[in-house]
Amino acid sequence: MGQVADNLVMVQERIAVACRRAGRAADEVKLVVVTKTHPAEVIARAVAAGADRLGENYVQEAARKKPQVGGKAQWHFIGHLQTNKAKQAVELFDVIETMDRLKLGRELDRRCRAAGRDSLDVLVQVNVSGEESKSGGSPDETGALIDELAALPRLRVRGLMTMPPWFDDPEDARPYFRRLRELRDRLAAGRPGLDELSMGMSGDFEVAIEEGATIVRVGTAIFGARCVAARA
Ligand SMILES: *Cc1c(COP(=O)(O)O)cnc(C)c1O
């Protein structure tokens, strides 16, 4: 097995250990392997080693690499999605994790209909820290946005996603993960299907799992440092 396959197995084991520590079943947590900047042949190695969900931040980059990667993995969009990229996003992605505004939701719904696609899973991105540099809506407005999106016939709102501020010590991210879980728990009352919590990256996914993550998004711990030159 190569380095990428070894790293993937190690991350899967760390997920299992964190689940056990938290009294959760290992299959409650889905791993999105974040592939941004990495070339298709390296991603294909991860898929061959069992990666079944891939995460990309740029529509163009995914369009270029997806045909070369092949396989049956689900593709998650985890970057900022411009409305004018909605058509391509509908063609390429199984899940949009960064839904942050109604206008984008309307456009995705319209593009699904045009493409004959029945449904598209989305997560609503929440800015739990209130930092201006972070994307996502405010926690106070999340319920209203979910209800507006739920009224669009082709979008299925499956849960919430967040990116806390960056810390050296992953313990410092814990309060933000907890805040997202508490928000989900509050909003899930009366909104069936709001199950997913996408939170936790290479540096802090174990803490996120302890706080209830159902999806973790991990790149560097599997592929090493990002390749700046590979971006389209
Ligand atoms: C890049 C990225 C990740 C993965 O980060 P790593 O630290 O490389 O694991 C996760 N989520 C989002 C939204 C990202 O942009």
Q: Which string of DSSP letters, residue by residue, matches 170-221?
A: GGGGHHHHHHHHHHHHHHHTT-TT--EEE---TTTHHHHHHTT-SEEEE-HH
Determine whether the shortest distance from the Cβ of 57 to ligand 1 is under 6 A: yes
- Quote the pTM value: 0.96
**CATH number for position 49:** 3.20.20.10
Quick check: is 230 in a domain? no
Among residues 111, 81, 98, 88, the alpha carbon closest in space to that of 32 is found at 98
- Give the number of the atom of ligand 1 that is nearest the alpha carbon of residue 32: 10
Determine whether the shortest distance from the Cβ of 164 to ligand 1 is under 6 A: no
Quick check: is 63 in a domain? yes
Determine whether the shortest distance from the Cβ of 217 to ligand 1 is under 6 A: yes
| Cβ pair 94, 121 in contact under 8 A | yes
Task: Pick from 217, 227, 228, 231 the residue to mutate for probing ligand 1's pocket: most ligand atoms within 8 Å of its CB.
Answer: 217
Q: What residue owns the CA closest to ligand 1's atom 13?
A: 78
Arithmetic mean of pLDDT, 63-73: 95
Residue 231 has pLDDT above 80, yes or no: no
Quick check: is 137 in a domain? yes
Q: What residue owns the CA closest to ligand 1's atom 7?
A: 202
Arithmetic mean of pLDDT, 99-114: 98
Largest CA distance in the chain: 48
How many domains is the chain partitioned into structurally? 1
| Cβ pair 191, 227 in contact under 8 A | no
Quick check: is 44 in a domain? yes
Q: How confident is the model at residue 232 (pLDDT cuts 50, 70, 90)?
A: very low
Instruction: Provide the domain limits for residue 99.
Output: 2-223
What is the C-alpha to C-alpha distance for residues 192 and 203, in angstroms, rounded to an integer?
Answer: 31
